[in-house]
Amino acid sequence: MASPTVSAPKREKDPKKRVVITGMGLVSVFGNDVDNFYSKLLEGESGISLIDRFDASSFSVRFAGQIRNFSSDGYIVGKNDRRLDDCWRYCIVAGKRALEDANLGSMVLDTMDKTRIGVLVGTGMGGISVFSNGVEALVQKGYKKITPFFIPYSITNMGSALLAIDTGLMGPNYSISTACATANYCFYAAANHIRRGEADIMVVGGTEAAVMPTGVGGFIACRALSQRNEDPKRASRPWDKDRDGFVMGEGAGVLIMESLEHALKRGANIIAEYLGGAVTCDAHHMTDPRSDGLGVSSCISKSLEDASVSPEEVNYINAHATSTLAGDLAEVNAIKKVFKDTSEIKMNGTKSMIGHGLGAAGGLEAIATIKAITTGWLHPTINQDNIEPDVTIDTVPNVKKQHEVNVAISNSFGFGGHNSVVVFAPYTP
C-alpha cells in the first residue's frame, strides 16, 4: 500500500477519459476459457510439452507450449477455418470470446454506433504457416501454384481486419508489430484512441502461432531457446540460475477496453481499470537488452506518470521474465531502479508455465494480471529451484500466494529493443 508519507498523484476523474476493462478472451495452451486458464496457472501447472504438430526429431529444440485440440466451432465458418493461418484463427476466437464476455454479442453490437468501436490486435510474426507454405509452393511447383490467400493471410494486419469484417466494427483498425512487446503496444495505443475521444470501445490484444518448423528453426538459429529436451516442463525457469533460454508458446489474449462513460451508460460489468502505459526503445542491440536497464526503467517510470501513480502504490508486477540469461536480470535491475523499496512488491513470471507467446504474450499476461486483481491470488513462478542472488523481490516461487493488488504493472519487451509497460488497478467508481 502507499506509504503515508508519500502523497499519490491525482488520477484521471473524467469518465470520458477513464479506460476500463469490460471483457476478456483468450486462446491458450490451457484452452479457451479465462477462468480455467487462470486456475491452471494458480495450480502451477506447466503447459510445456514435446512438439507433435510436425516432426521435430531432427531439431535441437523439440518442445514448446503447443496448443492442442483447438476448436473454433461457433466462431469461424468451416471453409474459412480450413484456409486460415492459426494466427488468425486464435485471434478471431479470442476476440469474439472477449466480446461475448463484455456482453457485446452481435445483437447488442447491432444497436450501437459501430464506427465508434475499433479493433487493434497485433502479432509479431503474422501468418507464418501460410507464408512458409507459399514459399514452399513457389520453390517446388512454381508461382502459379501459390494460393490467392498467400498475401492476405500472411500480412500482420489481417487479424484486426478479419475480426472487424466478421463483427462489422468500423472504428480505428490496424495492427502493431513490435515482436514480443506487441500486445502491450496495442493496449497503450487503443487506450489513447479512447482517451482522445476517437472510440468508445476497442477490441485489443495480441495473437501468435509460430510453433511450426520455420518459427522454431528461426529461434534456434537466434540461439534464444532452452534446450532442456529431456525435461520440457522444467525448461522455462525465470530468474533461476540454471535457466538456458526461453520456451516458445502461442495463443491469443484480447481485452475489451472501454471508456468508463460508455461502460456505465450500457450497464457493463467493469472488471478492472487501465490506468496508463508507456513505450520506449533501448536503441542498443537487435536481441540483447541494455545491461543498465535504462530503456526499461524509463518505460516503467513513464507508464506510472501516464497512469498518475506513484511507485509506492505498485505492489504487483507481472514480469516479462522470459528465462533468458541476460533479459531476466536486466529487467530486475530496471525494476529496482524505479522501486526503491520492493519489500511490499510481489513479482511473477507467467511464461514459466505457458512459455513465451511472442506477440500474444502481453495479451495473455494482461489477463493473468487482471485475474490477480479480481481474485486476490497470484499464480506462482514455477521451477524456482536456485534463484539468482540479485533477485531480492518475492517471485512467488512454486506456490500461489494470496495478495491484495493495489496497482499492478505488466511488462513486455521485444527484439529490436522495444519496451512496453501497462498499468492496471481494481476499478473504483
Query: Average pLDDT of 227-245?
Result: 97
State the Cα–Cα distance between residues 339 and 5, nearest whole angstrom.
Answer: 16
pLDDT one-digit tens code per residue, 39-79: 999 999 999 999 999 999 999 999 999 999 999 999 998 88
Q: Find out whether 206 and 239 touch, Cβ atoms under 8 Å.
A: no
State the Cα–Cα distance between residues 427 and 21, nearest whole angstrom.
Answer: 9
Is 127 in the same domain as 249?
yes
Is 258 in the same domain as 281?
no
Domain boundary residue, one of 240, 266, 292: 266
Is 329 in the same domain as 242?
no
Mean pLDDT of all residues belonging to the chain: 96
Say which DSSP state 113 is in: -
Is 157 in the same domain as 290?
no
Task: Give me the domain span that covers residue 183.
Answer: 19-266
Domain boundary residue, one of 212, 234, 266: 266
Is 183 in the same domain as 282?
no
| Helix, strand or coil, per DSSP, at residue 277 | strand
Is 290 in the same domain as 250?
no
Query: How far is the CA of 394 from the CAs of 14, 401, 421, in angstroms?
Result: 36, 10, 20
Is 320 in the same domain as 210?
no
Q: Give the pTM.
A: 0.96
Number of structural domains in the chain? 2
What DSSP string describes 380-413?
PBP--SSB-TT--SB--BSS-EE---SEEEEEEE
272 in a structural domain: no
pLDDT one-digit tens code per residue, 368-395: 999 999 999 999 999 999 999 999 999 9
Q: Find out whether 346 and 378 touch, Cβ atoms under 8 Å.
A: yes
What pLDDT score was predicted for residue 329? 93
- pLDDT exceeds 90 at position 106: yes
pLDDT one-digit tens code per residue, 184-202: 999 999 999 999 999 999 9
Nearest one of 17, 18, 36 to 28, comparing CA atoms: 36
- pLDDT exceeds 80 at position 7: no
Which is more confident, 289 or 160?
A: 160
Query: Average pLDDT of 314-322?
Result: 98
What pLDDT score was predicted for residue 293? 83
227 in a structural domain: yes
- pLDDT exceeds 80 at position 94: yes
pLDDT one-digit tens code per residue, 277-305: 999 999 999 988 887 888 999 999 999 99
14 in a structural domain: no
CB under 8 Å to 267, separation ≥6 — which residues? none
Is 398 in the same domain as 295?
yes
223 in a structural domain: yes
Is 255 in the same domain as 362?
no
Place of cell 520506449: 280
- pLDDT exceeds 50 at position 4: no
Is 237 in the same domain as 328?
no
What DSSP string describes 37-102?
HHHHHHHT----EE--SS--TTSS--EEB---S---TTTS-HHHHHHS-HHHHHHHHHHHHHHHHT
237 in a structural domain: yes
Report the b/e string of 37-50 with b at 16+ CB within 10 A: bbbbbbebebbbee
pLDDT band at 6 (very low <50, low <70, confident <90, very high): low
What pLDDT score was predicted for residue 172? 98
Domain boundary residue, one of 266, 291, 306: 266
For residue 35, the domain's CATH number is: 3.40.47.10
HEC string of 171-235?
Answer: CCEECCCCHHHHHHHHHHHHHHHHHCCCCCEEEEEEEECCCCHHHHHHHHHCCCECCCCCCHHHC
Chain CA centroid to CA 61, Å: 23
Which grid cell is 371?
Answer: 485475474
Which grid cell is 149?
Answer: 490467400
Is 66 in the same domain as 154?
yes
pLDDT one-digit tens code per residue, 111-157: 999 999 999 999 999 999 999 999 999 999 999 999 999 999 999 99
- pLDDT exceeds 70 at position 249: yes
CA-based max dimension of the chain: 72
Is 204 in the same domain as 300?
no
Q: What ranges make up the beta strands (E) of 284-406?
A: 314-318, 346-348, 377-378, 401-402
Report the percentage of the chain scoring pLDDT > 70: 98
State the Cα–Cα distance between residues 116 and 198, nearest whole angstrom.
Answer: 7
- pLDDT exceeds 50 at position 3: no
Which residue in 87, 180, 186, 299 is the catalytic one? 180
Specify whether 180 is catalytic: yes
